[in-house]
Structure 1
């Protein structure tokens, strides 16, 4: 999938995966259908809710359609909250890497889940997921993948009003102010190259750097790119593995060529290494402008683009000049300034001087990056329907 052995062991399986399930575990018997949801006092109801009760019911049958880049973690992020809220699930893993999910099915059986609570369907084509989306017996689709496929799922499910939770593509903006710590930002940006070879929707691939810092940033990133070993993903010293398929490699290379043809400067990378597999070496494009295709669309590969800005307002405008809004980043020595910029960015998630999301915070996107939220309380409520029962006082 592009994950090196080190990334796979630390991020895909082991404690990280177990934590995703443990996060939603309920340590006591609790019939949520019997407990009304507390309604806080508000301007609409100063005494809270009187003469009615609100319940959250399970949606029913949830189809979890996942992407190839996090085959087990993506499933955990859907399966755990859906089960915790009383639903049954059908898992449809990506066709590129279904084996880990099939092993998960064996673990589900060994854990004693009743037959039919967790189901796994695999397929190489689109027939199976299309049937799930159109089935009147499926109450909800929880999907992680591209924005184009997400839009198609929503259209196909519209006649039956199938509920959807969409975690879709991104073109992560990383804003660097004139007082930003370049070294710290470089570490975050370079993670695009070494983490799944850029095949991650939250990656900070679109760097919006203050003009006074551009030369230092580009020089530092170029130096880092030269130190990253590209090669066999099973070797411990490999930092950049292959892309998932020939088709994906060719697509990424087309993005790079298009950027250069549009006027971007190819600082490093862009070539195909003499290695067995579908590799693209870490690539950096400078002197980019907002209208370039490589700036506007998700390449899903080890490609970083750099745009210059002259002040915070221009940086915000560039960050928001996108159809995506999944995850953005702000690097500044002034925390108040960083927070102000973050609040202006049209993005479901913004990290300040960091690339690490909070595990209990809602996760999801604005615009073409999705609908609904995973994680935390919002991630539980996403797998429920709200029912109000009222009576005459």
Structure 2
């Protein structure tokens, strides 16, 4: 059995039993032809029933996710549960539209289910990252074998109950619990899997891709990030810094798209630091269930220790801690927000994904220098640009080597393609692009 630990109390709140990958894959293979044969409208109706069930269970799910990974309840309600509801709704809307084959010359192009999908998801947004894979995979006519993170697995079991209640047949969505090794490795390397969709660290993503390659299995990888928040000289500095700090600290910094590097012009550096410190000071650290809490614990003791190690690394490498070291509860895996200044763009804290509430403020000389620094990492998942001119911001955003960019705080769009370049992975999730990731293309010549 695997214990599930509440990171705020360090108490066991549940257990899960390691699953049988071979049995789950066999069940998925048996169920796939019948599920794929259902008309699109019928699959949409089942997913619509699932959405209704998720909506009804939202308060319960928010409390469950808060308990298993530490998100403050308002974040758990709005993001951890609210976002997967929006994601599922967008996939249902897509599925309810008639699908016509594309005509290319004398050919008709069809998109068909890829088959059985192996989905491996992390602990930081356990329900959202599950729905982002499962919803489009099922919509396209695939079946799924899902291995959630052993750190936060309980919401996957609840989702499985809701899937069953929605009338989705047995074998269409299968959950197997376990650690990355051996359970995740068995799933990624199973010859009965037609596509592996993985979200997690770049190190683990390499292993998944290598295991899948032995069977020539398709892989989609959503990996790490080290995103830059580029604040141009003419930007509304107060707004850019406030939103930037909030983005970096969301979910206690455990977000792959977090803008962990704030790039500011030399002439406005000191002002930006003052604004960032003032913003971070408003983030109360504490019990996720307390109404005043804005930062809960990190999801595990291992993650807390990793983040604290990076803080010490930053100091050892010569960065200045402008904010940090605040008091945290004596029990729980807490880390108070940290803001570093004087950060060398090539330093470890500016190059490696920390996955905690740590922000690096970096000076730049001019716009070309800002773009160079923003692009000078192995990652390319997200980013931001702020300017008084939307056209200017758009021009700079086009120069950033990354999968998505927010201009002047543009809102997250659950229907837009999500994914990265470089060591942030390949493939896309969400909306039409996410749906198509789980399909195979067939050309029929007439």
Q: TM-score, normalised by structure 1?
A: 0.92
Evaluate the alpha carbon distance shift between residue 278 and residue 29 of structure 1 in structure 2; reply closer, same or farther with a 3 A threshold: closer
The answer to whether residue 235 in structure 2 is matched with residue 180 in structure 1 is yes
Evaluate the alpha carbon distance shift between residue 31 and residue 355 of structure 1 in structure 2; reply closer, same or farther with a 3 A threshold: closer
What's the counterpart of residue 16 of structure 1? 83
Paired with 2:113 and 2:340, the residues of 1 have a C-alpha distance of 47
Deviation at 1:157, TM superposition (A): 0.8
Is 2:263–2:361's contact at 8 Å kept on the other side of the alignment?
yes
What's the counterpart of residue 311 of structure 1? 366
Paired with 1:320 and 1:29, the residues of 2 have a C-alpha distance of 39
Paired with 1:104 and 1:130, the residues of 2 have a C-alpha distance of 23
What's the counterpart of residue 261 of structure 2? 206
The answer to whether residue 203 in structure 2 is matched with residue 136 in structure 1 is no
Name the one with the larger helix percent: 2
What's the counterpart of residue 31 of structure 2? none
What's the counterpart of residue 111 of structure 1? 166
Structure 2 unaligned segments of length 5 or more: list them: 1-68
SS in structure 1 opposite 2:110? strand
Evaluate the alpha carbon distance shift between residue 275 and residue 194 of structure 1 in structure 2; reply closer, same or farther with a 3 A threshold: farther
Deviation at 1:102, TM superposition (A): 0.1
The answer to whether residue 76 in structure 2 is matched with residue 4 in structure 1 is no
Paired with 2:248 and 2:371, the residues of 1 have a C-alpha distance of 25
What's the counterpart of residue 121 of structure 2? 66
Evaluate the alpha carbon distance shift between residue 178 and residue 109 of structure 1 in structure 2; reply closer, same or farther with a 3 A threshold: same
Evaluate the alpha carbon distance shift between residue 31 and residue 180 of structure 1 in structure 2; reply closer, same or farther with a 3 A threshold: closer
Evaluate the alpha carbon distance shift between residue 29 and residue 321 of structure 1 in structure 2; reply closer, same or farther with a 3 A threshold: closer
SS in structure 2 opposite 1:305? strand
What's the counterpart of residue 30 of structure 2? none
Paired with 1:325 and 1:116, the residues of 2 have a C-alpha distance of 36
What's the counterpart of residue 92 of structure 1? 147
Structure 1 unaligned segments of length 5 or more: list them: 40-48
Paired with 1:74 and 1:163, the residues of 2 have a C-alpha distance of 19
Deviation at 1:28, TM superposition (A): 7.8
SS in structure 1 opposite 2:91? coil
1:308-361 CA distance string (max 9 Å, x none):
011110000000000000001001112121111101110010110115222222
Selected match of 1:294 from 349, 352, 358 = 349
The answer to whether residue 319 in structure 2 is matched with residue 264 in structure 1 is yes
Paired with 1:3 and 1:356, the residues of 2 have a C-alpha distance of 21
Q: TM-score, normalised by structure 2?
A: 0.82
Paired with 1:254 and 1:29, the residues of 2 have a C-alpha distance of 49
Aligned residues: 378
Paired with 2:96 and 2:307, the residues of 1 have a C-alpha distance of 49
1:50-100 CA distance string (max 9 Å, x none):
222211110000011111011111111111111111100111111011111
Higher mean alpha-carbon deviation, 121-130 vs 87-96, is at: 121-130
Deviation at 1:31, TM superposition (A): 9.0
Is 2:226–2:261's contact at 8 Å kept on the other side of the alignment?
yes
What's the counterpart of residue 360 of structure 1? 415
| Map 1:239-254 → 2, pairs under 5 A | 239-254=294-309
Paired with 1:277 and 1:186, the residues of 2 have a C-alpha distance of 29
Selected match of 1:225 from 266, 280, 289 = 280
Paired with 2:111 and 2:301, the residues of 1 have a C-alpha distance of 45
Evaluate the alpha carbon distance shift between residue 17 and residue 2 of structure 1 in structure 2; reply closer, same or farther with a 3 A threshold: same
SS in structure 2 opposite 1:187? helix
Is 2:117–2:143's contact at 8 Å kept on the other side of the alignment?
yes
SS in structure 1 opposite 2:220? strand
Is 2:416–2:430's contact at 8 Å kept on the other side of the alignment?
yes
What's the counterpart of residue 82 of structure 1? 137
Selected match of 2:401 from 322, 346, 352 = 346
1:163-198 CA distance string (max 9 Å, x none):
111111000100011111111112222214542100
What's the counterpart of residue 54 of structure 2? none
Is 1:194–1:239's contact at 8 Å kept on the other side of the alignment?
no
SS in structure 2 opposite 1:276? coil
SS in structure 1 opposite 2:126? coil
